[in-house]
Amino acid sequence: MIRKILSIILLTSIFFLFVLNVDFGSSTSSFTPELITRENGSQNMVSSIVLDFRLFDTFFEVLVFTIAIIGVSFYMEKLPEYKGEDTIVSSPVIQIMTPILFQIIVMISLYIALTGHLGPGGGFAAGVMMGTGLIGVSFVKPMDEIEDIFKKSKIEKFKILSPLFIIIYGIMGVLWGDAFFANFPFTGKTGELLSGGSAILLNFVIGFEVFAGTWTILYKFIKHRGLL
């Protein structure tokens, strides 16, 4: 029920944004690389484009990804649960090293999400890295532990909030930038951590969405198929 309500709110919000003819900015741009860096404040020009100048495209990428995850979850729930034995790797080395490596992967992922506007990285890369690390953990953890973590985290519900958060962020852009999806007015000095306006915030939102989607698919496949 909550999923249906959130989906309705999301679709209704998108509809009214078009109906109200909110100013999305010009579809063409004469900005040079120097002007893009100067206006956005991000040292990584890709971050400037993805999280500012073409954020509308990025939003729909996140939305399509979210809908795909919901579709996979809906389909997998119709399959019977796997009743066989857990496929756990018994090697002591893998049993010990995998959880340690996962913590290292999480720290690296948080770092590249935090500094994605300064160099290579960003939310998509961070989410994929954490999701990949979680796949490794699934090889050494029994199904009941994975299921317990999944249910307690409520990550399947929280992941739906990411597109809604981006929509709210876009609407607020009209308040401080007179345009939908306008960047935060404080861009900082190029090359510093607190630069790029809303880059850090959006990178963490996107990273969480990608990680949550990966975790959801992983959990559903293990629960209903027993294998990855």
3-state secondary structure of 24: coil
What mean pLDDT do residues 6-34 have? 61
Residue 17's pLDDT is 60
Q: Are 69 and 82 in contact (CB under 8 A)?
A: no
Q: Are 205 and 123 in contact (CB under 8 A)?
A: yes
Burial (Cβ within 10 Å: 0-12, 13-18, ≥19) of residue 161:
middle
Residue 110's pLDDT is 92
CA–CA distance, 207 with 163 (Å, rounded to integer) = 12
Q: Are 218 and 138 in contact (CB under 8 A)?
A: yes
Domain that holds residue 49: 2-224
Distances (CA, A) of 4 to 158, 160, 200: 14, 10, 30
In tens, the pLDDT along 162-174 reads: 888 888 888 887 7
Q: Are 80 and 146 in contact (CB under 8 A)?
A: no
In tens, the pLDDT along 100-156 reads: 888 899 899 999 999 988 888 888 999 988 888 887 777 777 767 777 777 777 777
DSSP state of 198: T
Residue 49's pLDDT is 85
Tokens coding 169? 């962020």
Burial (Cβ within 10 Å: 0-12, 13-18, ≥19) of residue 197:
buried
Q: Domain tally for the chain? A: 1
Q: Which range among 28-32, 54-58, 70-74 shows the weakest confidence by mean pLDDT?
A: 28-32
What mean pLDDT do residues 194-205 have? 87
Residue 112's pLDDT is 92
Percentage of the chain beyond pLDDT 90 is 6
